[in-house]
Amino acid sequence: MTDAINLAEKLSTFDERWSPRTVSLFNGHDVMVVKVEGEFTWHSHPDTDDFFLVLKGEIDIELRDRTITLKAGEIYVIPKGVEHRPVARQEAHLLLIEPTGTPNTGDPETAVARKVI
C-alpha cells in the first residue's frame, strides 16, 4: 500500500496539458490528475460517466445545449454517452476518475497513453 497521495505535489511533477497522470486506483478506475489549458475535443464515453473535480482554476464544460462552469472545489459528473468539450481559458488543474483503460478522447485512436506517477 502507498502513503497519502498529495495531489498538488503530483501535479508539480509535470507541465504537459491534457495528459492525465494516474495517481491511484479505485474499484477498477484510474484516479488521475491533469493540467488543462485551451480547448479539448468534443467527445463522449459510451460506457462510463466522467467525473471532474476542479482543484485549481476554472473550466467550462461545454455540452451541446449548455455550458457548465466549474470552479475550484466544484465537481460535475458527465453521464455516459453525453457529448462534452472541456475548455480552460487559463491553466486549470483537475482530478478525474474513469474506468482503467478509458481513452481520454473517447477514441482509442486519438487518446494519450496511460501514464502512472
Residue whose CB is less far from its own copies, 97 or 109: 97
Q: Which residues of 17-53 are buried (b: 16+ CB within 10 A; e: fewer)?
A: ebebbbbeeeeebbbbbbbbeeebeebbbeebebbbb
Q: Report the distance separating Cα 62 and Cα 5, nearest Å.
A: 30
Position 51 contacts its own copies (CB under 8 A): yes
- Residue given cell 457548465 in the structure block: 68
Position 46 contacts its own copies (CB under 8 A): no
**Which one of residues 39, 43, 68, 103 is an interface residue with its own copies (CB under 8 A)?**
68
Position 41 contacts its own copies (CB under 8 A): no
Residue whose CB is less far from its own copies, 5 or 117: 5
| Part of the chain binding its own copies (CB under 8 A), chosen from 13-21, 34-42, 44-52, 108-116 | 44-52
